[in-house]
């Protein structure tokens, strides 16, 4: 079965006392099962695109692997009810996974489903190493181009977008998904495959800056997060500890900086 990111469906539009049928592009949402060394670990509800990158990014941002070399193979197969991703892990990574294995459900919501203790919510994180400073005008430049590069959202209106921008304000790549966590994981997976230097740019989120979005960025080594919506207090606290510059309510001519403003200059 061919799973596509957007599907055409018949809809009925009621307007001015009339009802007529038309076609509309709808975002696909399907189960994606991640299986590590033959053991099912999690089922994500996701957009069926960039699935290999989703598996790579999820594996890193969830602490299952420490680098891409700990994944020996990824096999993606489509089934009637979803997609199965079989991942071959190095023995050290698989042992670590088994020692703290938990059952989780899809992550289109809070992103902490399956956590079984308060202590497990916030892992020990090393502060992100920073060397570069970002110009305020660069963020505005990226935001100007942000909407135009979200093609799936333009078709369906129901997905989140995440972009990686370089220090010159150029959008390098974009990933989209119904889940904001999935979109970020896809971007992280792309970065692992292309060996991106996370110090030389920043991410822009179409969503709010939640705790887990900051946590995934911290684990990856991303030093600056720009969100078009608001952050939470937990996200701010974690960004402060992780030496991440967190920007919210980002607009072309105005941004709110919540942590580490010293990495910006006019």
Known binding residue 264? Answer is: no
Is residue 153 marked as binding?
no
Check whether 250 is labelled as a binding-site residue: yes
Indicate the burial class of 72 (C-beta count within 10 angstroms; 0-12, 13-18, 19 or more): exposed
Cα–Cα distance, 90 to 85 (Å, whole number): 16
Best CA proximity match to 28, nearest among 166, 176, 147: 176
Residue with tokens 């010159």: 168
Residues 6+ apart with CB under 8 A from 113: 104, 105, 106, 107
Does the annotation list 224 as a binding residue? no
Matching residue, tokens 């700990």: 70
CA dihedral 219, 77, 161, 196 (to 10 degrees): 50
Say whether 224 is catalytic.
Answer: no
Q: What is the DSSP string of 98-116?
A: HHT---B---SSSS-TT--
* 19 is known to lie in a ligand binding site: no
Catalytic residue among 110, 113, 149, 224: 110
Q: Where are the extended beta strands (E) located within the chain?
A: 6-15, 18-27, 30-36, 39-46, 71-79, 82-89, 134-135, 160-166, 171-177, 201-205, 224-227, 245-248, 256-257, 264-265
Instruction: For residue 33, say whether it is annotated as part of any ligand binding site.
Output: no
Binding-site residues: 249-254
Active site residues: 110
């Amino acid at each position: 079965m061919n799973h596509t990111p957007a599907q055409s469906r018949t809809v009925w539009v009621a307007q001015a006392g009339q009802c007529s049928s038309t076609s509309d592009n709808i975002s696909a949402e399907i189960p994606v099962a991640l299986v590590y060394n033959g053991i099912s670990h999690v089922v994500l509800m996701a957009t069926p695109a960039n699935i290999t990158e989703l598996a790579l990014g999820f594996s890193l941002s969830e602490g299952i692997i420490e680098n891409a070399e700990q994944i020996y193979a990824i096999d993606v197969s489509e089934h009637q009810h979803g997609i199965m991703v079989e991942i071959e892990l190095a023995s050290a990574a698989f042992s670590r996974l088994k020692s703290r294995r938990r059952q989780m459900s899809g992550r289109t919501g809070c992103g902490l489903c399956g956590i079984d203790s308060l202590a497990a919510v916030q892992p020990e994180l090393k502060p992100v190493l920073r060397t570069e400073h970002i110009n305020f005008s660069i963020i505005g430049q990226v935001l100007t181009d942000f909407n135009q590069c979200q093609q799936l959202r333009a078709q369906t209106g129901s997905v989140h977008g995440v972009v990686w921008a370089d220090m010159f304000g150029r959008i390098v790549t974009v990933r989209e998904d119904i889940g904001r966590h999935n979109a970020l994981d896809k971007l992280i997976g792309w970065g692992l495959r292309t060996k991106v230097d996370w110090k030389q740019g920043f991410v822009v989120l179409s969503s709010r800056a939640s705790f887990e979005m900051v946590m995934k960025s911290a684990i990856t080594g991303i030093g600056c997060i720009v969100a078009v919506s608001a952050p939470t207090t937990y996200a701010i606290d974690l960004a402060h500890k992780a030496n991440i510059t967190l920007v919210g309510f980002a607009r072309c001519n105005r941004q709110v900086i919540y942590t580490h403003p010293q990495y910006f200059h006019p």
